[in-house]
Amino acid sequence: MDQGLTRNIGISNFTARQIDEAVAVSRHSLVTNQVEYHPFLNQTRVRDTLGRHNMALTAYCPLAQGQVFGNDTLQEIGKRHAKNEGQVAIRWLLQHGDVIAIPRSSKADHVASNFNVFDFELSTSEMKQISDLYTPEGRLINPSFAPDWDSVA
């Protein structure tokens, strides 16, 4: 950054404690922390910590690696808005206000579908219904070298 080689610095897979430490030792602002986040994983602690530091959360696996498709709640909400489960999950993330979603797809029609989330709005009760899908088993990415995650059930 001092040499003009980068505009912004982000971190990834940092826990709440690690975010605090990183901010404390960094001479530059940190803009985002990229972590797993989708309707089946509670990231309240990480989000609250990022909020204190004015940082965004970048949600990887926003479609829970495809597991959102077929979920009854997401399907039912989607029907009301003429959207599919993936679009509902992405919209839910974006409506947090401080979350960026990075869905991955190898198919052009899926990519187009995943972008088609800016013409509808989830109600407060729909947002809550989706947040209630959190489960303690929701985490998908948990390698042996992972930190001691602090997400809540």
Ligand X SMILES: NC(=O)c1ccc[n+]([C@@H]2O[C@H](COP(=O)([O-])OP(=O)(O)OC[C@H]3O[C@@H](n4cnc5c(N)ncnc54)[C@H](OP(=O)(O)O)[C@@H]3O)[C@@H](O)[C@H]2O)c1
Residues that bind ligand X (CB under 6 A): 12-13, 34, 60-66, 69, 86, 102-107, 110, 113-114, 141
Distances (CA, A) of 105 to 18, 30, 59, 60, 95: 30, 28, 15, 12, 21
Closer CB to ligand X, residue 27 or residue 145? 145
What are φ and ψ of residue 22, in 5° steps? -65, -45
Closer CB to ligand X, residue 69 or residue 98? 69
DSSP structure class, residue 109? H
Closer CB to ligand X, residue 112 or residue 125? 112
Q: How far is the CB of 5 from ligand X (least distance, A)?
A: 21
- Burial 8-30, CB ≥16 within 10 A → b, else e: eeebebbbbebbeebbeeeeeeb
Closer CB to ligand X, residue 27 or residue 36? 36
Q: How far is the CB of 124 from ligand X (least distance, A)?
A: 25
Q: How far is the CB of 135 from ligand X (least distance, A)?
A: 16
Q: How far is the CB of 110 from ligand X (least distance, A)?
A: 4
What are φ and ψ of residue 100, in 5° steps? -110, 140
